[in-house]
Chains A and B, each alone.
Chain A
């Protein structure tokens, strides 16, 4: 018995050793391996699945105009995320897909497809969801959590920002637009993306297996740093007038390829306005703004459609003001003349004889002047006012090739201006090698190309006393709290011509704008100096055998103390009028007439002009008839009474409307008398005096636009069409200018 018992005892001991040594020993080894050797790797993997790292979007900075008007701003929107991994069955998927599709206006099957990606925790259902839809989604999440406990995290709302451009297509080419992730894709938005973007924050939270936060606090939060805001040099009002007149010009002159206007402060290079038409709406940059373009794309199919759409989108986003280069044509004569004066290759007393054509170099064909009869003998100034090509070919010859090239460079045409916008182009110097003919035609702006921004910068240099300044668009950079972080300092690159030369040029150009070929750009009282240009377009014509033109006008004001320079440029006017003087000059004048008073440039009227200067009508309502009449007369107007009453119940023009001195103010004394009408006469093709006579016969007021000093200037348009019925006293704006063909087109 003992041996049996001890046998058991012995085996029990063996068993014990087996369990303890082999069993517990191997267990201990395994645990040691996992803890100490695999520990690092395993714990990293564990932490990986436990931590969730959420990016917090930074709010993109605002873009203001120089007066603090908001041109672009960001507002909170939400991104709806689905975490399909939480779904347990198709019933739940259908329920959620249906609910979300209904709220977000999506196709249910599309949402269901996302919901079926059962391994995913992150499927974007919809971006840029605004607060009303977001509230509905939140309500749906509540409802869902009640219905299916496990689905409380299946829908996630992530805050995001959406870019809004309150003025729609306003200054779109300058401001640019942003992509779906808020990144700047064009214009200022692109150029200053790093400033505007800010720094995303992140929240690191520890999550449990269901993706919700752990009950104990473990959260590391790094706040998002909102982006900087920008204050542009753009003035909303100036830009507005520029766009308004350009749009009208495009319609009036049937301009096919858009138009550009740039307004620059000549002293420091601030761009007050940069209008590029036809533009786009940065709120919907991928929508073709032009209906014709959209129709064209709609008629295409397949890849052709896609390619054409991309082509047209690229075209509408293109900032012609800085990217397109064109033959400057006669506008470049400003530069040639400045160089000639500066180099003393000719002086103000030099005379140039134009016989209607000129042979710049022996053995080549004669190059004609636009005035085939010839301008005869002209002084330096007269040659510029006549825009005489032979005279400029002579000047070019006198200047010489090297100097021509030197000034081409120093005015900044072969290098970028350095404006703070992406995609700037540069002028091109085509004649390589440079021959005498190249020099000859280059002297009047053919055979070389420039960009609009280069041209206006060069003209600014003439205006400001000879200094090439760097144009810029961003005046200040503000932090998220509105404190100024950076202020752009104007950069004067170099002196191009002497102040004396600049002064002489200003005088000649002012004369040109009042008497010369540029007179259609004149604005009474504002001492405009300017030059027109018409040039053949670079590259292929739209149609065979039909030339395309660029009509431009570049000038500055006031001539005695230049403040702003303005370039107006129409690409391919297809109407009857296509010359710079016909197309660009009136638009230039229109813009100048609005922005000069706005910018506080003091008007200096000549005596003749003073007669036609508009004055604001006063308020005559509710006055006794006699009092009203005397007040009207005191204001410098003529009173015209309608009705039998004793008290003024209505007036035309309205209080504050601009009418010329001596104009008629119609005072109505009885209510029903307002029905009296006048027929608008045809006021075109007349001199100022004739227009005045007719207008007074018809009891309407005329506002004069354009150069009115000379009786050689004729009206060419009126703001209200002939034969329309209007109330007596209504103001009709009549545009004056001449139809002289001023330029040579090569």
Chain B
């Protein structure tokens, strides 16, 4: 046991710190082909890109675009007088995103080692800018205006956190059981991120970030007891904060949670409008759905059906069967992604890839639980479905990284 830790420590040390000088001589035991790397290549063309994963990804993207278009055109027409308003922009970002993904898939992910800390810094900086220069008055300060399009700072932040902790854990994997290396940095980074998100405010962002950090630390080997302690203390913190009234916005978002179908007060009826109409849409779908394009709820009943609630329209139009098929494709994508990435040659690859795929799975689950009123209505988008150029772009960049990992991972051996 001790020996194996020592070995891996030495391995990683030689890999990460000594720029793979030893790996040059001694090929990784997991490598199938007698391929050696002297240094990281900028581009790694021709290596085994995982076509199954790519196929699933393209499939889910196409379904996502079709469904987003179907869900959005009545609202787009009503709001902008152009049925194609949302889909045009989404397709443009999807094309740019796929190009970026392909590009990134050639970009050796090991370069992100060095980029981890700077990207985290950039993410925080963007979140600060968002706070200082809000795009809208009286609205949560989430969007960064980049002129032609807006970007949600938290999207970059999520990626930055995964990257940061993939890097951290792969460096300090031996010390992960210690408070100093395992817990303290996590609390610090999460604390800063959480505080910035709290100021926006963007509570669902905090929740997702916490989940992602937890996933990364778990993968990195942080003992379970810390998660339990963290969970309990987080619960206590929530109680204290809500008692002091610091969570009024979050509490207001919780209002009407699980009570969308019951009329209590007019105000509450308005608050739960979106969730209720989401449930109506889902329930209307039945087993086989009303048929593609046949949703009734998207006709201005379900507000902003192109955003977080696009899956409700999927349920209405494609029915339970369609919803299960979409979920199954997501499941397969996550399954395949994690499968590939856990075969990566090194810790960093494994941590990064699995983390990125876990993020996809997590968001899918949380999104569907929100639209089905099992979680309070807080902006959690559905990957590849919900409208949002920045989200699409960041997601595809992340998928590019996974693809790149797939090139170096050898799945066939397992």
Contact = CB atoms under 8 A, between A and B. Distances in A.
Given A31-B372, A35-B323, A43-B286, A1 B299 contact: no
B177 interface: no
B4 A4 contact: yes
Nearest to B358: A15
Given A11-B221, A208-B300, A34 B283 contact: yes
Nearest to B5: A4
Interface string A36-65: 101111110111011000000000000000
B284 A43 contact: yes
B105 interface: no
A39 B315 CA distance: 11
Contact of A31 (B12, B215, B284, B323): B323
Given A1-B11, A19-B362, A35 B342 contact: no
A19 B365 contact: yes
Given A46-B283, A208-B301, A20 B324 contact: no
Interface in A1-49: 1-5, 7-9, 11-13, 15-16, 19-20, 23-24, 26-28, 30-32, 34-36, 38-43, 45-47, 49
Contact of B341 (A12, A34, A35, A39): A12
Interface stretch (B239-247, B331-339, B400-408): B331-339
Contact of B374 (A11, A30, A46, A209): A30
Nearest to B1: A3
Contacts, number: 170
B264 interface: no
Given A5-B8, A46-B284, A208 B361 contact: no
Given A23-B362, A35-B319, A15 B215 contact: yes
Nearest to B321: A35
Contacts of A47: 284, 296
Contacts of B358: 15, 19
Contacts of B281: 46
A129 to B, nearest CB: 30
B84 interface: no
Contact of A8 (B5, B12, B219, B365): B219
Given A1-B8, A50-B301, A206 B296 contact: yes
A215 B73 CA distance: 12
B7 A1 contact: yes
B219 A35 contact: no
Given A7-B221, A19-B362, A24-B327, A35 B8 contact: no
A598 interface: no
B327 A208 contact: no
B254 interface: no
A12 B219 contact: yes
Interface stretch (B94-102, B128-136, B347-355): B347-355
Contacts of B30: 5
A23 B29 contact: no
Nearest to A10: B342
Contacts of B354: 8, 12, 15
A19 B368 CA distance: 13
Interface string B351-389: 100100010011011001100101000000000000000
A31 B368 contact: yes
A209 to B, nearest CB: 3
A361 interface: no
Contacts of B284: 39, 42-43, 46-47
A42 B283 CA distance: 5
A713 to B, nearest CB: 84
Nearest to B374: A30
A146 interface: no
B338 A12 contact: yes
B286 A11 contact: no
B369 A30 contact: yes
A119 interface: yes
Given A4-B347, A9-B342, A19 B282 contact: no
A609 B286 CA distance: 94
Contact of A43 (B277, B280, B327): B280
Interface residues of A, number: 44
Given A19-B334, A20-B334, A209-B299, A12 B342 contact: yes
Given A2-B8, A16-B334, A34 B362 contact: no
Contact of A35 (B283, B300, B351): B283
Contacts of B173: 4
A7 B177 CA distance: 14
B41 interface: no
Contacts of A75: none
Given A7-B221, A11-B219, A208-B74, A43 B283 contact: yes
B301 A2 contact: no
Contact of B4 (A2, A15, A20): A2
B266 interface: yes
Interface string B298-331: 0111000000000000010001100110010011
Interface in B183-232: 215, 218-221
B365 A41 contact: no
B79 to A, nearest CB: 10
A45 B369 contact: no
Given A30-B368, A46-B284, A35 B334 contact: no
A430 interface: no
Contacts of B1: 3
A251 to B, nearest CB: 62
B285 interface: yes
B170 to A, nearest CB: 9
B279 interface: yes
B297 interface: yes
B88 interface: no
B8 A34 contact: no
Contacts of A484: none
A119 B342 CA distance: 56
Contact of B361 (A7, A20, A30, A32): A20
A36 B287 contact: yes
A46 B327 contact: no
Given A4-B173, A5-B347, A23 B300 contact: no
B19 interface: no
B78 interface: yes
Residue picked from A5, A7, A42, A208, most chain B C-beta under 10 Å? A5
A2 to B, nearest CB: 7
Contact of A34 (B221, B282, B327, B347): B282
A306 B191 CA distance: 75
Interface in B59-118: 74, 78
B297 A16 contact: no
Given A23-B362, A46-B296, A119-B266, A31 B8 contact: no
Contact of B342 (A13, A20, A42): A13
B226 to A, nearest CB: 14
Nearest to A40: B283
A208 B299 contact: yes
A486 to B, nearest CB: 46
B282 A35 contact: yes
Interface in A668-686: none
B7 A31 contact: no
Given A4-B5, A27-B369, A15 B338 contact: yes
25 contacts: A1-B12, A2-B4, A2-B7, A3-B4, A8-B347, A12-B350, A15-B218, A15-B219, A16-B334, A20-B331, A20-B334, A27-B368, A31-B282, A35-B282, A35-B287, A35-B319, A36-B287, A42-B280, A43-B280, A46-B283, A46-B301, A49-B280, A50-B301, A209-B301, A210-B300
Given A16-B338, A19-B362, A28-B324, 6 more contacts: A9-B350, A12-B219, A23-B362, A42-B261, A43-B283, A208-B300
Interface of B: 1, 4-5, 7-8, 10-12, 29-30, 74, 78, 173, 215, 218-221, 261, 266, 277, 279-287, 296-297, 299-301, 315, 319-320, 323-324, 327, 330-331, 334-335, 338-339, 341-343, 346-347, 350-351, 354, 358, 361-362, 364-365, 368-369, 372, 374
